[in-house]
Amino acid sequence: MVASTARKLDELLLSDYNHSHDYGGVSGARLAQRLYELSKIGLTEENGSYRIGFSAEEQQAKLLVAKWMTEAGLDVTQDGAGNIIGRLAGKQADLPVILSGSHVDSVPNGGHFDGPLGVLAALEVAESWKKTNHQPEHPYEVIIFTDEEGARFNGGLTGSRAMAGSIEADKQLGLVDINGASFQQVIENIGLSVPSFFAAKRDLSKIKAYVEVHIEQGKRLEKENLPVGIVSGIAGPSWLRITFTGAAGHAGNTPMDDRQDALVAAGELIAAIPHLPPSVSPTAVATVGKLQVHPNGVNVIPGKVEMFVDIRDIYEDKVSELVQLTIDKAEAISAKYGITLSYEQTLKVSPMLVPDDMKNLLTVSMDEMGIKPLYLPSGAGHDAMVLGSHIPSAMIFARSKDGISHNPAEWTTLDDCVQSVHLLKKMLERLDKN
């Protein structure tokens, strides 16, 4: 029953496909078939994907794509972090390599496009070059990054961070997964080792650029009726842990004018936070996603509330400004209610702005395709954000139906998938000539 449900992915993708998009060696049918084949690995009862990082399912998906890479004429290797790399030789072997790819791991019961589309789009470009007997000047690599989603260790971007050499060994080796296994145990179970993992760091001076295709995970392209868009930047998250400490008391015997209710203070801050980002930046966002109320009794005035605020923007200075505004607001509220405030920044990831020259190459390519360029930020993290701290990086978004992601209902039409391949192909060819 599950297999027949999965079959619908292949059939639905092709059911309304405009075959006029098959040109320049690009094949919509091949892309649809490969998306379908990947969807069968870790398929859930809800027709979703369950391929968490460092799992047998992730490895099976990697090996399947590696087989397709080999058939496309790529030289395939796996580095010590488990990243799969398919290399196409360039006419000039000494030129720096151009990279493209994404990941094949998923969140539990995720969708079939987040990650696989980027990997298969990069591979489809290599297939198109093989079909048209084109060899780039630069070496070209299609890459599958390990554990992008981070569902196993509540982290993520593991493969790209290992490649960039931006992982702290002590912190990584101290991780324990969702089943209680250590990081070392987990990677050894799939044939990797701690020394090999940290040896995955590459000489990034030998990489010219990285370009990644991904579904939008939002509705802006859908609202503009556009198949693809240009990512202007990737927001880096900053997390604030804010604690209001008042006084717990009996809900029946404590007068309203003699309370130090920590939850009332937290609630006022929660209500204020949505109004702060627009005052800082049109692309800034802030979210309270987690609360811990103490003592959490029905008939007890909350004496302490710990809340977490997720703050993001593509501009680092605006993130800092929004963090300070949030703290200022919390301080004013704590003074108003006569309760104690403490706060800590528990996470800070620098955002990545896509370089103007990379955006310009995509703009020219979209103009050539007759598609209006739309620039949009990414609020979610991607491997491009990691590499973008070291080398020129860009992202292409493909339209996502209803903006749904990390869900079995995730959907991008085959027309839009193939249009993202053509845009990637044009971009890579411009990079190769530039």
- pLDDT (tens place) for every residue of the chain, 434 residues total: 234 444 588 899 999 999 999 999 999 999 999 999 999 999 999 999 999 999 999 999 999 999 999 999 999 999 999 999 999 999 999 999 999 999 999 999 999 999 999 999 999 999 999 999 999 999 999 999 999 998 888 778 999 999 999 998 998 999 999 899 999 999 999 999 999 999 999 999 999 999 999 999 999 999 999 999 999 999 988 889 999 999 999 999 999 999 999 999 999 999 999 999 999 999 999 999 889 999 999 999 999 999 999 999 999 999 999 999 999 999 999 999 999 999 998 778 788 999 999 999 999 999 999 999 999 999 888 999 999 999 999 999 999 999 999 999 999 999 999 999 999 999 999 999 98
Amino acid (one-letter) located at 78:
Q
Are 9 and 85 within one domain? yes
Q: How many domains does the chain have?
A: 2
Q: Who's near 319: CB < 8 A, 6+ residues apart?
A: 235, 236, 238, 284, 311, 312, 313, 351
Residue 189 and residue 61 in one domain: yes
Strands 375-378 and 228-234: parallel
CA distance 54 to 146: 7
**CB-facing half-sphere around the CA of 116: CA atoms within 13 A:** 31
**Pair (40, 122) in one structural domain:** yes
Could you tell me which residues are beta bridge partners of residue 97? Answer: 207
pTM: 0.86
Angle, helix 116-131 to helix 28-39, in steps of 10 degrees? 140
Domain boundary among 348, 366, 395: 348
Q: Are residues 287 and 336 in the same domain?
A: yes
pLDDT at 153: 87
> Would you state the pLDDT for residue 381?
83
Q: Minimal CA–CA distance to 396: which of 374, 415, 416, 420?
A: 420
Same domain, 368 and 401: yes
| Tokens 């903006």, located at residue | 403
Structure confidence at residue 2 (pLDDT): 39
Distance CA 90, CA 405 (A): 36
Q: Is 214 annotated as belonging to a binding site?
A: yes
Q: What is the CATH number of the domain that holds 249?
A: 3.30.70.360
Closest CA to 420 of 141, 127, 117: 117
| Amino acid letter, 360 | N
Round to whole Å and give the CA distance between 434 and 320.
36
State residue 308 phi and psi, 5-degree precision.
-115, 130
Residues 37 and 91 in one domain: yes
The dihedral sign for the CA sequence 412, 414, 417, 423:
negative
H/E element, 14: helix 2-15
Q: What DSSP designation does 53 have? A: T
Same domain, 195 and 157: yes
Q: Residue 143 belongs to what domain range? A: 2-235+351-433
Question: Looking at the structure, do residues 341 and 363 belong to the same domain, yes or no?
Answer: no
333, 246: one domain? yes
Domain closes at, from 348, 377, 407: 348
Q: Which residue, 325, 348, 371, sits at the end of a domain? A: 348
Please check whether residues 230 and 94 belong to one and the same domain. yes
Q: Nearest Cα to 288, choosing from 258, 265, 267?
A: 267
154 lies in the same domain as 189: yes
CATH number of the domain at 111, please. Answer: 3.40.630.10
Q: Which long-range contacts (CB under 8 A, 24 or more apart) does 217-220 make?
A: 217/114, 217/378, 217/379, 217/380, 217/400, 217/403, 217/405, 217/406, 218/376, 218/379, 218/400, 218/403, 219/400, 219/402, 219/403, 220/374, 220/376
- Bridging pattern class, strands 393-398 and 300-301: unpaired
Cα diameter, the chain: 83
Measured between alpha carbons, how far is 231 from 429 in angstroms, rounded to an integer?
19
Ligand-binding annotation for 344, yes or no, is: no
Task: Say yes or no: 336 and 276 in one domain.
Answer: yes
pLDDT at 195: 96
User: What is the pLDDT, as a whole number, of residue 236?
Assistant: 81
The confidence score (pLDDT) of residue 86 equals 98
